[in-house]
Structure formats: structure tokens, C-alpha cells
Structure 1
């Protein structure tokens, strides 16, 4: 039995199911390569029919050859037909789905790192609005969150870099951290989306109160942010 080719479409060195006495039947890459064999079959059939008794003498070998050629042609079509659009297929991007329902779940005890690569326990900054910036720096959104956060509520920005970037230069500073291991993004269960910043609101008990898949204007989360201070 032949071995599958590199793309798993069928045997590369022959066709299965043929009698062993037919020998090795090779499937060519181009069907036109079988034109010579087909022409030979037709010539032999015409010559055999012109000779007395020749039809019976050559009938069986020519029939075997004809069957082999037809079988090879059929195998060639079966192997090459699915590849007709090779190079033109494009994977269909999976539609975005919002993060799994995390409201009421406990934030994992993650240690992130600051600009000096020192570990920072994330749960030690609660209550907090945690903004993941691995899909978008979104400095305007960060500034809005800083301005809207009530006293006692931390604003934490998180990137996927090995060390955290320098924090914003506003009067109130965010806790700028990095998550090189991707633990927070894994907790969300969704990859980063280009152009979108994701935010988590977590109360002082460590429970997620709201997930914002795409951080919008302050009006869309102000009441939830204020509730973290209580």
C-alpha cells in the first residue's frame, strides 16, 4: 500500500486496490502525461482487430492495460481535484465573542511586574479598574478612567510586555504593570483585539463586578466605577 503524500490526499507512489501483478502504478502530476499510453492502447487495439485471431490473443493484455490507464486517470482526478483552489483559499476569521461571564468570580492571585521588573501582587491594589492595553495603548481612555475613578479606587494598566512602560504624565498616576505570562488575559478567556482596550472592575473583596470588552466612554461605566468605592 502506498504512503500518503505530504498533504494527506492519497498515496503518493501508487493506487490502492489494484492487483499486485499489475506492478507499481504511478499517478503523474499532469494528466497529459498519460496521453502516450492512451494512444498506444488505441493503436494496439486497431492492430489486433486487423490480424486474424489477433483480437483474442491480445485482448486480455490490452484490456488490463486499458483498465490500468483508466484507473490511473480516475485516481489522478481524485487526488488533484481538491487541490484546484490551492493558494486561493483564505481562512475565515472567527467572529468575536465577548468574554465568558466573569461577574462574581474571584480575581486570580496574580503577580504582575512593574517598570523595574519587580513583582506586584494584583490583588494588593484592590478595589481597582484594571485596563488591559495589549490590543490598544488608548491613552485617552486611560486618562478618562483616571479622572473618573473615585478616591480609594486604583486604576491599573496592564500590557503584555516583559516590563511595564512608563506611566502616563497626568496628575493622578495609574499603576502601570506588565503581564509577561499572560495570566490576566488567560483569565478573561479571549485574545487581545487590535484597537480595543479591555477593562475589569474588581471590588475590594476580589470579585469581578463588571467586564468591559471594549472600554468606551466614562458614561458607560461611571456608576460601576463609583460602586467600587463603597
Structure 2
């Protein structure tokens, strides 16, 4: 029918003469006891003498018992579900399919905070380094990029950060407004760089949610010169 409260945290003290109190899982389980007490009260109310005098105290005790048990039930009921109602972190999903879409006309900034139209640097491999500078991966991209294809790194905020030791071969910019991240539809992830390959017409040809070895995108990079 029920279970005693084993922890006793936050519960009112009960008179010891009540003995072991069992909290029912459903308050409707008290209906039988309540009906029996009401029946006794009606019988006592119809009798002369001291029985009538006991009706009011018994009614008060009944209300106190039912209120106490209802409170115990309210306190103990959620315990079976504790720890199961916490939101489950959503797994990372790669950016939506952007291949074939036009790159927005975004103005980024250089180290001197001068605006730089991103579409004016095409064709390009654009690497977002707001989650990871990933110098080794950027160096591989620079070495593999054919002539005429720019490698652009984009950091978050207004501070421009270029991963060493390839600063001289990379156009390092910053995206204060976060327009490029908004276009991707995914936040930055620690330890991960994201890259876009964009042809000279401004069309995204490939998105690399996690920039990996150059062999995974070498052909697409070379195709930007076509």
C-alpha cells in the first residue's frame, strides 16, 4: 500500500504514540479509514452524553491526521523520479547542408579593425579558429592550397588571432558580429576548427565541421581554381 519515509528529511515530527507511519502511494488509499472515522463520528453525534462531546475533538484529530499524511505523501512522491528529470545534453550535430548556398556578404575586420569584405577574398578556404587555433591543421591547408586560393582564418570577437607559424601565409580576420557562425548555424566547439570551401562565384562547395587531415578535402580545395 505504501512505504515509510526512511530519510525523514524535511518531515514534521509525529507523536511517538502514533507508532510507525506508512505513507501511501495514492491519497485515495485513505478513503477506507476516513469513511470509518466519519461513521464513528456520526454514531457518536447521535448519542447523548459524553459521546457527543467527543465528536469535535475526534473531527480535529481526523483533519490533523489526513493533513499530515497528505504532506508526507507530497514530500516523498517525487523521490522516485529524482535524477531522471534533468535535461539530456543534445549531441553535436554538424552544420546544416550549406553546399550550393551563396556565402553572405559579410564584412569582417583585420588587425587594425578595418572592415574587410569576405567575398572579396574568394576563392578561399575559410577556417573558423574561435574554438581552436589548430596550427597544424591550418599549416596543412596553407601548404595544400593552390595558387590563387586564399586561406582565411576567422576568430571570434574583435581580436584577430592567427595560428603560428603560418601568420604570413594566412589572411587573419575577426568576426565581431558573429555573422559567419550564424550562417553555419552551430556554436564554436573547444578543440575544433570548422572550415568552408568557397569558389570564386561565392558558392559554398563544402563544409568541414571538424577540420581534419588535408587528404580528406585536397580534391575539393584544388577544384576551387576551376
TM-score (norm 1): 0.72
Corresponding residue number in structure 2 for 1:185 = 181
Is 1:226 matched up with 2:222?
yes
Is 1:30 equivalent to 2:10 in the alignment? yes
Say how many residue pairs are matched: 191
Aligned mates of 2:166, 2:187 — CA distance in 1: 29
1:216 matched residue in structure 2: 212
For residues 1-230 of structure 1, the aligned pairs below 5 Å read: 30-33=10-13, 35-36=14-15, 53-79=49-75, 81-82=77-78, 91-166=87-162, 168-170=164-166, 173-230=169-226
Measured on the aligned residues, the alpha-carbon RMSD in Å equals: 2.9
Report the alpha carbon displacement of residue 137 of structure 1 after superposing the two structures with TM: 1.0
Structure 1 pair 55/178, CA: closer, same or farther in 2 (3 Å)?
Answer: farther
Aligned-pair CA distance for 1:149: 0.5
TM-fit CA distance, 1:87? 8.8
- Structure 2 CA distance for partners of 1:166 and 1:134, relative to 1, 3 Å: closer
Q: 1:171 to 1:120 in 2, by over 3 A?
A: closer
Q: Deviations over 1:71-106 (max 9, x none)?
A: 343234325643688799865321111111111111
Maintained 8 Å contact 1:146/1:173: yes
From the superposition, tell whether residues 92 and 207 of structure 1 become closer, same or farther in structure 2 (CA, over 3 Å).
same
Contact 2:126 2:196 in 1 (8 A): yes
Structure 2, unpaired ranges of 5+: 1-8, 19-36, 38-43
Shift of the alpha carbon at 1:135? 1.3
Q: 1:38 deviation in Å?
A: 8.3
Indicate how the Cα distance of structure 1 residues 199 and 101 shifts in structure 2: closer, same or farther if over 3 A, else same: same
Q: Which moved more, 1:129-138 or 1:87-96?
A: 87-96
Distance in 2 (alpha carbons) for counterparts of 1:170 and 1:31: 66
- Aligned equivalents of 1:202 and 1:38: distance in 2? 81
